[in-house]
Structure 1
Amino acid sequence: MDIAHLRDFIAVVEAGSLSRAAGRLHVSQPALSQRVAQLEAQLGVRLLVRGPRGVVPTPAGTTLYRDAQQLVRQFDRLARDVADSRNHLHGPVAVGLPTTVAAPLAPALFSWAKAEHPGIHLQLFESMSGYIHELLLAGRLDLAAVFREDDVPRAAEVPLYSEELYLVGQPDPRPDSDEEVPLAGLRAVPLVTPGGRSNLRALIERAFATKGLVPAIVADVESLGTMIRIAAGGEACTILPLSVLRDHGDPRELGVRRIVDPVLRRHVAVRTATEVYEPRDAVIAIRNGIVEVTRHLAGEGRWPGIR
């Protein structure tokens, strides 16, 4: 299988059209079509479905697209590594951080990498956890922070920290305690949370289910800042870790309360893109840097609420 054929196939899938892909690759459309046909013949499966509006991958094509991205990225990095005779670490490292992790970690990680490994080119992606997970599975990231409901060791993961979740906002009626609120007391409290792909949403729904309850989620909000602003406005509450609230006003005015019975806790690990082979040295360096920076921020009290 020719690496050039994989590059062609990736370009076609991302363009959604043979003609558009041919323009980006600076080749003729018939030549590109022939290359894709040769790849299909080599693999013995149909990879694309052609229609009047362009092309879409078949299930086999989707599998090839996901894995081909990792292969091409590895090939390109190998070529750069061999060509570069310098002794220091170098090259790009793509890191995905969910928004609640990126807020405290990303700036400090950038400063650490610039000081410790100036030859490494950081590529930082910040989004909600569901999309970060999709990017990792698609081979677009080298590392990603992932959420877990337990701290069981897993292949290709390094544990990072754990944190508790808090109610943010002023529920009506307000709980008796100014500092804690039982989960069952939130059965009728309107909540805004991320959408269904979010780990946070799944954790909240499962916690309520253990009490035989369904959370009163009134809106899906894929923005950390917007969730906090809605909670501050008083029309709904949200559930978030304490660490993301430090830059959004006085916790007492926001009505921040620790959720108990049960305590909602999640664990965070940093995961590499694959379990099959050892990551590049630059990826390992950044992974170690994430752990070091996290410990440093927690030790200085600059990342409250994590353990």
Structure 2
Amino acid sequence: MDIRQLQTFVAIYESGGISRAAERERTAPSVLSHHLANLEAQFPRPLFLRNPRGLLPTEYGQRLYAHAVQILRALQHAREDMYNMAGEISGQVAIGMAYTALQSIGRHLMRIVLEAHPGISLVLSETLSGSTISQLMDAHVDLALAYNPTQDARIKTTPLVEERMICIGKKHVIGDTTEPISVKTLLTLPFVLLRRGTMGRSVMDDPRLRKQFEQRARLQADNVNAVSLFVEEGHGCVIGTKSYLRRQIQSGDVSYRYIVKPTMLRTLHLCEHVDKPPSRAVELMRNLMLYLIASEVQSGNWECERVLFDAARWQRQGRQQ
């Protein structure tokens, strides 16, 4: 098995056929067929099933794809890191961010990269917490900011901030008052929840509460924009933080009430690979994200119950860079 074979396999897997992969790789289909045949000869079962519409990956192909992506990504990082040792930091860094984190620091991160680090190609993935962790483990992203991530020995998680959850919606849905709302009352309202494994875990730490809300949800979705539309149209409410629908709250389009009995909290974590050494570009982005979160917290733009990392230290370091 060599690198060219793995590159060919990934191109065919992602394109769904040899002809389409050949166009993507700008090479002859016969060359890709040759590499694929040599690769498949090394395994006891085929990597693809052939049909008139193209190639469908088998169970063996799906498993190899997960390994191949990680291997090729690691090689890319190694190559970039060697070049970076000699001068300006460059290379591609993919970051998965929960919606609230992207809303809070995304624009600042993009501006700093564009102005101060022209050699870095930044890939921002606005994903739900469950899928962010999956992408991190599959090497589709290098770093992630996720809420209440599942525990996995391959992933190092660092808690950053603990946020208090609120009920957000039109006044005719949640009541024309700023008084706190109890969980018992909230469960009687029409509310939207992003599906289990994505938002269910990121909304709250308590698994018992998660189960209750998942059972009572009037609408479940995989898309943050669908949730926003549900609330803005007055169909129901959503559990979030002030950062979640910040503009709508500030404009008065929607209102909010703090949730009590019990108070609902969630924790944002920085997630990284345990056994994958970060490139200088990834390290730079990690430090920059911590600086931006610290700055938002210190300025009061990111409201939270508790700061769980040394925000003052990261703010000082960021200013010195």
* Pairwise TM-score range, normalised by the shorter structure: 0.7 to 0.9
Give 2:52's aligned residue. 52
Deviation at 1:118, TM superposition (A): 4.3
Contact 2:142–2:282 (CA under 8 A) maintained in structure 1: yes
The 5 Å alignment of 1:120-199 reads 120-148=120-148, 155-170=155-170, 178-199=178-199
Determine helix, strand or coil for the equivalent of 1:249.
helix
Cα gap change, 1:195/1:254 in structure 2, threshold over 3 Å: closer, same or farther? same
Is residue 72 of structure 1 aligned with residue 72 of structure 2? Answer: yes
Determine helix, strand or coil for the equivalent of 1:46.
coil
Give 2:292's aligned residue. 293
Q: Per-residue CA shift, 1:165-184, capped at 9, x if unaligned? A: 11112577867973311111
Q: Per-residue CA shift, 1:22-64, capped at 9, x if unaligned? A: 3333444343223212112224443212222211212221121
Is residue 107 of structure 1 aligned with residue 129 of structure 2? Answer: no
Amino acid at match of 1:2: D
Deviation at 1:282, TM superposition (A): 1.6
Deviation at 1:152, TM superposition (A): 11
Give 1:279's aligned residue. 278
TM-score normalised according to structure 1 size: 0.85
Structure 2 Cα separation of the partners of residues 239 and 305 of structure 1: 15
The aligned length equals 305
- The alignment yields a C-alpha RMSD, in angstroms, of 3.2
Moved more, 178-187 or 118-127: 118-127
Give 1:304's aligned residue. 303
Deviation at 1:69, TM superposition (A): 1.3
Deviation at 1:3, TM superposition (A): 0.2
Deviation at 1:304, TM superposition (A): 2.5
Structure 2 Cα separation of the partners of residues 14 and 150 of structure 1: 27
Cα gap change, 1:29/1:92 in structure 2, threshold over 3 Å: closer, same or farther? closer
Contact 2:94–2:143 (CA under 8 A) maintained in structure 1: yes
Unaligned runs of 5+ in 2: 307-321
Determine helix, strand or coil for the equivalent of 1:73.
helix
Structure 1 Cα separation of the partners of residues 234 and 130 of structure 2: 27
Determine helix, strand or coil for the equivalent of 2:248.
coil
Give 1:268's aligned residue. 268
Moved more, 195-204 or 235-244: 195-204
Q: Per-residue CA shift, 1:227-256, capped at 9, x if unaligned? A: 344324432111111222321134876231
Structure 2 Cα separation of the partners of residues 103 and 125 of structure 1: 12
Contact 1:12–1:21 (CA under 8 A) maintained in structure 2: yes
Deviation at 1:4, TM superposition (A): 0.3
Q: Per-residue CA shift, 1:251-293, capped at 9, x if unaligned? A: 8762311112222211111212x32232112212211111111
Amino acid at match of 1:17: G
Cα gap change, 1:92/1:154 in structure 2, threshold over 3 Å: closer, same or farther? closer
Give 1:21's aligned residue. 21
Contact 1:208–1:215 (CA under 8 A) maintained in structure 2: no
Deviation at 1:76, TM superposition (A): 2.6
Contact 1:187–1:214 (CA under 8 A) maintained in structure 2: no
Identity of aligned residues (%): 27
Contact 1:93–1:123 (CA under 8 A) maintained in structure 2: yes
Q: Per-residue CA shift, 1:60-84, capped at 9, x if unaligned? A: 2112112211211222332344356
Contact 2:170–2:237 (CA under 8 A) maintained in structure 1: yes
Contact 1:133–1:146 (CA under 8 A) maintained in structure 2: yes
Unaligned runs of 5+ in 1: none
Determine helix, strand or coil for the equivalent of 2:289.
helix
Moved more, 4-13 or 196-205: 196-205
Give 1:32's aligned residue. 32
Structure 2 Cα separation of the partners of residues 103 and 202 of structure 1: 16
Deviation at 1:298, TM superposition (A): 0.9
Determine helix, strand or coil for the equivalent of 1:95.
strand
Structure 1 Cα separation of the partners of residues 20 and 149 of structure 2: 44
Structure 1 Cα separation of the partners of residues 196 and 151 of structure 2: 23
Structure 1 Cα separation of the partners of residues 276 and 304 of structure 2: 34
Give 1:256's aligned residue. 256
Contact 1:166–1:259 (CA under 8 A) maintained in structure 2: yes
Cα gap change, 1:248/1:93 in structure 2, threshold over 3 Å: closer, same or farther? same
Cα gap change, 1:287/1:306 in structure 2, threshold over 3 Å: closer, same or farther? farther
